[in-house]
Amino acid sequence: MSENLRHLHQLRPRHDDDAVRERLAQASITAGVILEPSEQDPRRFTAPGTTDRVADEAQVTMAPPTTPSRLPRSAPGDGLRLVPLAAFHWGGAPRGRFGGRSATIAPRVRGDHILIYVAQGTLGVDLPGLRHPVSDGRIAFIPAGTAFSMQPPEEVQGCALMIPPHLAHGLPVELPHSFQSGLPDPADHALLDPALRALGAGSPRNAVEASATSFQLGLLAVALSRLVHGSAAQQALSHRITEARPLTERFLALAGANLAQEHTMSELARDLGCTLAHLDRACLQSRGKTALELLYRLRLERAVGLLRDTTTPIEQIARSLGFSSVGHFMRAFASATGRSPEAFREIGRGGEEQI
């Protein structure tokens, strides 16, 4: 793609000169008036020949458009929008699985399609239980209704296009129905830049603009279809993710059956017939976490069950879950839940709070 989208994050809004701003102020035209279309002109007019008296009831009624091809305007904040990628953050409030605080933003559903282009840098798109890295030169598509979260770093360059679903109806090639990402086909590079720029101008307001919007969306749909069917890189990535899931599940089953044995991660990987690096890659691709992070999570899940459902002493729980000491277990549990094991057990017994 050209340098235009690469440096989209550097664009600044245009500032009108003082004379224009003064005329707008005198006419009572504000951002709120512009964003909220009205059937009536909000300006008040002074009766001819007077200086101080204002005709309070004098308003100019604007006839609604009669052209059949005129489309309804989108509400403020709705419609096609193209924004710098570093400014597009999405997700719900951070929430730990066991009631404590979490640094991970929870996935949240959006009602519009999202197309992401990364010109430089890397970001992660988090779907429930799975992280998808998107790096230099790649595009990703997140269909409307998909729960996801993302926090692009400040240094990432690129753009995010928000597409209202109704604008994609009737395209010759449908937009994907599930998350897709990968490298664009070389034949599509020259088309994506102008298509994104044109769509970023906003929602269509007449038949001509609607036709142009459909054409540009059609180009994006074709490019996205080639990511799935024609991109060797995307096919290889999908194949790796498919292979990663069984290995991750085997790891969790093996680790869960041997928590008290205090096996090292290298020993677990060897028992699975792979290297630790291979195991970590599989866990990251299928669960978005390293093997060690998944092991800690498994231990805490078991700890929650034992504290809530049994009277097993805390020292015995720590040993059975492979923690090096009671202190290690207590620190890890408090960090994850915000409570000590004793406090968690008391809450569970009293029925005051459900975790």
- Per-residue pLDDT tens for 249-296? 899 999 999 998 878 999 999 999 999 999 998 888 777 788 998 998
Higher pLDDT, 262 or 39: 262
What pLDDT does 38 receive?
Answer: 40
Structure tokens at 12: 């600044």
Reported pTM: 0.47
Full set of structural domains in the chain with CATH: 81-230 (2.60.120), 236-350 (1.10.10.60)
Separation CA 51–CA 8 (nearest Å): 49
- Over residues 330-353, the pLDDT tens digits come to 998 988 888 899 988 887 665 444
Whether the pLDDT of residue 63 is over 80: the answer is no
Extract the runs of DSSP E, i.e. beta strands, from the chain: 81-84, 108-109, 113-120, 122-127, 130-135, 139-142, 147-148, 157-163, 180-182
Higher pLDDT, 37 or 237: 237
Separation CA 289–CA 130 (nearest Å): 8
What pLDDT does 85 receive?
Answer: 92
Contact 326, 314 (CB under 8 A): yes
Q: Under DSSP, is residue 108 helix (H, G, I), strand (E, B) or coil?
A: strand
Structure tokens at 58: 């004098």
Higher pLDDT, 48 or 237: 237
The H or E element that residue 228 is part of is: helix 207-229
Average pLDDT over every residue of 21-47: 48
Give the closest residue to 304 by CA, choosing from 334, 324, 325. 334
Strand partners, 180: 141
Phi first, then psi, for residue 44 (nearest 5°) are: -105, 145
